[in-house]
Amino acid sequence: MKLRTQIILFFILILLFSVGSITIFSYYQMEIIFNKQLEEKLFDIAYYAAEDSLVKEALAVNEIIPDSELNEHIEKIRVKTNVDFIVVFNMDRIRFTHPNEKNIGQLFKGGDEKRVLETAEEYASKAEGTLGISVRAFVPVFYEGRQVGAVCVGSTVNENTKSFNNIIKQFYPFILIGFVFGIYLSAILASNIKNEILGLEPKEITLMFKEKDAILENVMEGIITLDEAGNLIQYNKEASRILGLTEEDMGKNTEEIIQGNKAYELIKYGEGMHETEVKIRPGLSIMCNSSLLKDDKNQVIGSVINFKDLTEVKKMAEELTGIKKMAWSLRANNHEFMNKLHTISGLIQLEEYDEAIKYISKTAKSRNKITDIITGNIKISSISALLLAKYYKAEEMRVKLEIDKQSSLTKLPELMTEEDLESIIGNLVENSLDAVSVDGTGIISMSL
């Protein structure tokens, strides 16, 4: 069953229950009010009849006269007040008046008249008489201080029901209009909900969320989602690994999350970021892309940032760079050694054996000295390779590169990567070589 149909049916059930409950409650409340008003009406008529002089005198004389003026008088009152009967009876329960004249002179029927005769009590009751079940009001009649009889004014249940139903029927159109209007509003609400969820069904939404979660958790990139205020609302497993995010960070503002080596730059440059390298902390760099989330009114409601961990890539690149530098160094070293071999060969051919031995000893000492300093004191392989390459390059350019034997580099400075340090050292040496490589007497001294 489609979501729209479910919503409409659900609201129809709610309307049926609500309207039905209200209708039933209102029906019983109105019935109570109707009966109360009816009793008040019956009592008013009974009081009026009990105070009527014809009624008092007839009961005082206590003689029943068929077709008398009393019955005609009471019937006029009954018709005018729209009740079913007004019965006047004496202390012996004998009727003096009745809508059906055949019942005049007969005993009052119902059994609920005893209280008014015995205790002169005024009350209402419901009992079955000659006209059927009716609601009755009893009022005693007094003449010169003594009770001479009573008046009973009543309305049959059938007539009451008809009157009450006629009143209720007036509300039927309003109930129907309310019900139809409720269904119409439920249809509008269902359409709005469908539009808000892009016309998707619940099963489709569930499937989309599952697919999204599967993609987020298996993609080899970190992904975080922020709301318009910059609060974290979602992240995947890779983002947690790279940035150290936990469930406690959910809903926190980015500035609060970023404390303690979190990705402040990631958020700071969140808008329009494309393949941008961001340094999170020493030894951790990431490549970021970001895009804004907008609603159907083109209002920004958040942003999505995805990023890759460049740490491993950079390590591999640095290793490759070191190998290249080492290869260049070996080529330069090979060229230099060929020159030295030619020199040694020439000295031997000239039979300058002592000079050849001195030259070989001097060269060995020089190479061993620089090699011992670099390999012994510089523990970062890429920097060692760079220094060795620059040393051989300086030799080729007939520049003496001296490295202080007290130099030491066992770990990287804070907030600096190997690439940063290589760039600084390489630029310094190159600039120095350009400055002193003029006449072969240049000397460069450096210390780490």
Distance CA 77, CA 411 (A): 119
First and final C-alpha spacing in the chain: 76
336 pLDDT exceeds 70? no
∠ CA(76), CA(82), CA(84), 5° rounding?
90
Distance CA 184, CA 281 (A): 60
235-258: average pLDDT:
78
323 pLDDT exceeds 80? no
Q: Find all residues with CB under 8 Å of 106, minimum gap 6, and list them.
A: 94, 95
DSSP 379-412: --HHHHHHHHHHHHHHHHTT-EEEE-TT--BSSP
Domain boundary, last residue among 256, 278, 309: 309
How confident is the model over 44-71, as pLDDT tens digits? 999 999 999 999 999 998 888 766 788 8
- Residue 87, classed as helix, strand or coil, is strand
Residue 129 lies in a domain: yes
Kindly list the distances between the CA atom of residue 355 and the CA atoms of 60, 241, 360, 367, 399, in Å, as whole numbers in the listed order: 173, 64, 9, 18, 23
Q: What pLDDT does residue 119 have?
A: 92
User: Residue 430 is part of which domain span?
Assistant: 314-446
Same domain, 139 and 259: no
| Residue burial 132-157, b: 16+ Cβ < 10 Å; e: rest | eebbbbbbbbebeeebbbbbbbbbbe
Name the residue with higher pLDDT: 332 or 182: 182
How confident is the model over 177-216, as pLDDT tens digits? 877 887 888 788 777 777 776 666 777 777 777 777 777 7
- Computed over every residue of the chain, the mean pLDDT equals 78
The highest-confidence range among 223-237, 279-293, 427-441, by mean pLDDT, is 223-237
Distance CA 237, CA 364 (A): 56
Residue 245 lies in a domain: yes
Q: What pLDDT does residue 262 have?
A: 43
Domains: count for the chain:
3
Q: Find all residues with CB under 8 Å of 439, minimum gap 6, and list them.
A: none
Residue 156, token pair as written in the block? 């049959």
Same domain, 334 and 407: yes
How confident is the model over 144-161, as pLDDT tens digits? 889 999 999 998 877 666
Q: What pLDDT does residue 139 have?
A: 95
297-303: average pLDDT:
79
Same domain, 327 and 275: no
Q: Find all residues with CB under 8 Å of 91, minimum gap 6, and list them.
A: 117, 147, 148, 149
Same domain, 297 and 415: no
Distance CA 417, CA 310 (A): 12
Distance CA 249, CA 429 (A): 46
Q: What pLDDT does residue 152 have?
A: 95
Domain boundary, last residue among 243, 275, 309: 309
Residue 28 lies in a domain: yes
Count of all residues that appear for the chain in the document: 448
189 backbone φψ class: left, alpha, beta (φ>0; ψ -120 to 50): alpha
394 pLDDT exceeds 50? yes
Distance CA 88, CA 149 (A): 7
Residue 383 lies in a domain: yes
Cα of 202 vs its chain's centroid, Å = 16
**CATH label of the domain that carries residue 109:** 3.30.450.20
Distance CA 300, CA 293 (A): 6
Domain boundary, last residue among 309, 332, 357: 309
How confident is the model over 17-34, as pLDDT tens digits? 877 787 788 778 887 888
Residue 7, token pair as written in the block? 């919503």
Residue 225 lies in a domain: yes
| CB-CB neighbours of 312 under 10 Å | 9
133-137, 205-209, 247-251, 327-331: lowest mean pLDDT where?
A: 327-331
Q: What pLDDT does residue 170 have?
A: 78
Residue 103 lies in a domain: yes
- Give the residue among 7, 29, 17, 28 at the shortest CA–CA distance from 179: 17
Same domain, 157 and 240: no
Same domain, 148 and 17: yes
Q: What pLDDT does residue 260 have?
A: 42
Same domain, 305 and 326: no
∠ CA(234), CA(235), CA(237), 5° rounding?
145
DSSP 265: H
Same domain, 77 and 57: yes
Same domain, 43 and 121: yes
Are 215 and 256 spatial neighbours (Cβ–Cβ below 8 Å)? no
Name the residue with higher pLDDT: 268 or 122: 122
Residue 190 lies in a domain: no
Distance CA 116, CA 120 (A): 4
Same domain, 397 and 410: yes
Are 384 and 372 spatial neighbours (Cβ–Cβ below 8 Å)? no
Phi, psi angle pair for 331, to nearest 5°:
-65, -45
Handedness of CA 434, 436, 437, 439 (dihedral sign): positive
Same domain, 338 and 407: yes
DSSP 84: S
417-446: average pLDDT:
79
Same domain, 282 and 339: no
43 pLDDT exceeds 90? yes
Q: Which residue has the tokens 């004014």?
A: 153
Name the residue with higher pLDDT: 343 or 183: 183
Residue 195 lies in a domain: no
Q: What pLDDT does residue 264 have?
A: 47
226-234: average pLDDT:
82
- Give the residue among 116, 153, 113 at the shortest CA–CA distance from 131: 153
Handedness of CA 418, 424, 430, 432 (dihedral sign): negative
